[in-house]
Structure 1
Amino acid sequence: MRPTATLSASSSLNYGFPIPPSSSTSFTPTPSPTNCYFHPSAKKFSSLRFKPNKRNITRSAVSIEKEIPETERPITFLRESEGADVRARFEKMIRDAQDSVCAAIEAVDKGGKFKEDVWSRPGGGGGISRVLQDGAVWEKAGVNVSVVYGVMPPEAYRAAKASPADQKPGPVPFFAAGISSVLHPKNPFAPTLHFNYRYFETDAPQDVPGAPRQWWFGGGTDLTPAYIFDEDVKHFHSTQKKACDKFDPTFYPRFKKWCDDYFYIKHRGERRGLGGIFFDDLNDYDQEMLLSFATECANSVVPAYIPIIEKRKDTPFTDHHKAWQQLRRGALCRIQLGL
């Protein structure tokens, strides 16, 4: 049997990441609450958020109808009039990304298969939720897409646009689409991955003639290991940088810092993981360029992550290593719940 992997304290400290206790230390793992396996933005639009902020408060306030289970996935969740615009191309992108990520995960697992749920909404839109559970490699993997129509209350629109208090537009129709995922491997030496990419658009307020349509992109991909391997971190970040550099050399340092700052837990004095890229409310570039950029980021998930899983999935581990993974996963869940 190959020797089990180890982690030096110095490596951990360099990343601002919790240090695993020594094998002689006794500790009790914290179970992961079942509802902390990330459920998709598909089912609850407010799940697109990571942390509360002005825009996310807006998203949690919007009106969305209850979903209806469907037996077959449609060719598109869009309305008939939307066949060639950014909405249609973004939907195609996230559905293609869902297919490619799920295919890669199943190929690594060599036996586990995703269970798929399709749903729709009476007012338009819907989603596809896929979960693989208790596979050979994956404890649980969720990859989900949604295309949602709704109505934003006036107060939410004012918060989103930082409008003056005396400006009181009527209800604002909105469109949102996204892919969101959390991937939990069984092996403690194989890292968890989070990624999501989304597009949000509002129509002109009903009683504000001539108001421009608003739109923005958001998302990111980040790595959360229980044990750190420098070569894995370098591979992951170099792949993210390569994707960013195709569009703007300032993107990677800017979005990496954004990710580092966004997922820093102040009351714990630690980072959620080893970072990646993150951006939100992005609309200060050409829309076509940002659509291509979001597509490139989504397409970089498999080459950034799967080689790491292939390398670590069969690493021998002990009950002690597994307990540390559970402890870290429980902490992650509490962080996601704001605890």
Structure 2
Amino acid sequence: MSEFREQVVDFVRDLQSRIVSALEAHEPQMKFKKVSWERPGGGGGDTRVISGGQVFEKGGVNVSVVHGQLPPKMQEKFKSKTTDFFATGVSLVIHPRSPQVPTVHANFRYFEQAERAWFGGGADLTPYVPAPELFRHFHSCFQKACASYALDAYTRFKKECDEYFFLPHRGETRGIGGVFFDYLEGDREKTFEFVKKSGEAFIEAYIPVVEKTKGLKYSERQKKYQLIRRGRYVEFNLIYDRGTLFGLETKGNTESILMSLPPEVHFDFQADLETNEEERQLMGWLKKPVEWADAQT
């Protein structure tokens, strides 16, 4: 393994540990379980999972370090004459029990294929209750991380996030967004520094949200609403998500790939998601994304 690959692997493993520690601080009676796995075609990883927690109903923080041969379908996608590849990254999804606490997703990854190498990643928030102040905080953390990379980085990556996590068949986004970037090539060291800052920004962005919302009371309707909205999460991950599709195409660890799915979901026929002002406000934001970092909403 090259020196640069080792640096990236060390980064994703360290970030995994720090994120798990930060989350465990809010689950004093439960710890994340470590499950290691191997990929038949080369490499492997380990998944830290939690299930049935008081705050986190289900969650996983996965690290993968894989290499080998791209399947023909993926080789065609990358328009490459060679099949060798190397990929490493950390990915996570946390599904809190309370609808007051937003679901969160993040991943930071590095990929080499033939003569090309690039970084990708991002983080996004999926709330079930309107909380504009917390949404501004989440976005502002990533806006700050992006500032050191390029003046327009946050604007571009925020827009890409809104577009990527859009469900065309529903006409709405999965959540209130964050940042999303892919195929970042060019200055490798500069880009790596940006990815590291983004990983740090995730902890700064999400943990305070958990602290402020985990003790709030919620109604039966808010819980029902959460379960229906989780259905949208499932729809996106199984139909559109690149990471899910890539993992399955390259014969990754199925359990780790599907760890993103929530433990309980409602798929109600013609579910009404705008039964009160709170729901109408949130749905309005999902249908027309807001510039949260600069918003006065």
Select the residue among 84, 94, 98 that pairs with 2:3. Answer: 84
- In the alignment, the residues of structure 1 paired with residue 219 and residue 167 of structure 2 have an alpha-carbon distance, to the nearest angstrom, of 29
Q: CA deviation at 1:152?
A: 2.2
Give the partner amino acid of 1:120. E
CA contact (8 A) 2:41 2:69 kept: no
Larger radius of gyration: 1
User: Secondary structure at the residue paired with 1:108?
Assistant: coil
Q: 2:179: which partner in 1? A: 277
How does 1:178-197 map onto structure 2 within 5 Å? Answer: 178-197=89-108
- Letter matched to residue 256 of structure 1: K
1:306-321 equivalent positions in 2, closer than 5 A: 306-321=207-222
State percent identity of aligned pairs: 45
Task: From 179, 195, 198, give the equivalent of 2:109.
Answer: 198
Partner of 1:243: 145
Partner of 1:79: none
Partner residue of 1:173?
A: 84
| CA–CA distance in structure 1, aligned partners of residues 15 and 130 of structure 2 | 27
**CA distance in structure 2 between the aligned counterparts of 1:216 and 1:140, rounded to whole angstroms:** 31
Structure with more of its chain in helix, by fraction: 2
Calculate the TM-score normalised by the size of structure 2: 0.77
Structure 1 counterpart SS, 2:3? coil
SS in 2 for 1:187: coil
Q: Structure 2 CA distance, aligned partners of 1:154 and 1:320?
A: 47
Tell me the CA shift for residue 121 of structure 1: 3.8
Task: Pick the aligned partner of 1:299 from 189, 200, 204.
Answer: 200
Of structures 1 and 2, the one with the larger relative CO (CA 8 A, separation 6+) is 1
Distance 1:140 1:189 in 2: 15
Asked if the contact 1:190–1:313 (Cα under 8 Å) also holds between the matched residues in 2, the reply is: yes
RMSD: 1.7
Distance 1:155 1:185, change over 3 A: closer
Per the alignment, do residues 137 and 172 of structure 1 end up closer, same or farther by CA in structure 2, a change over 3 Å counting? Answer: same
Show the 5 A alignment for 1:114-125. Answer: 114-121=32-39, 124-125=42-43
Cα separation, 2, equivalents of 1:158 and 1:318:
50
For 1:123 and 1:325, how far apart are their aligned partners in 2? 38
1:287 to 188, 192, 205: 188
2:209 corresponds to which letter in structure 1?
I
Q: How far did 1:175 drift?
A: 0.3
**Partner AA of 1:129 in structure 2:** T
Does the CA contact (< 8 Å) of 2:174 and 2:232 recur in 1?
A: no
Q: CA deviation at 1:122?
A: 5.6
Following superposition, the deviation at residue 158 of structure 1 comes to 4.4
Unaligned runs of 5+ in 2: 241-297
**Mapped contact 1:110–1:136 kept (Cα < 8 A):** no
Instruction: Tell me how far 1:248 sits from its aligned partner.
Output: 1.4
Are 1:330 and 2:231 an aligned pair? yes
In structure 1, distance between residues paired with 2:182 and 2:95: 25
Helix, strand or coil at the partner of 1:93: helix
Provide the aligned length of Structure 1 versus Structure 2: 240
CA distance in 2 between partners of 1:247 and 1:112 (Å): 38
Please say if 1:253 is aligned against 2:155: yes
Match of 1:103 among 10, 15, 21: 21
- What secondary structure does 1:298 align onto? helix
Q: 1:256 touches 1:277 (CA, 8 Å); kept in 2?
A: yes
Q: Which residue of 1 aligns with 2:59?
A: 141
Query: Residues 134 and 154 of structure 1: is their aligned pair in 2 closer, same or farther, counting only changes over 3 Å?
Result: closer
Provide the secondary structure at the position in 1 that maps to 2:123: strand
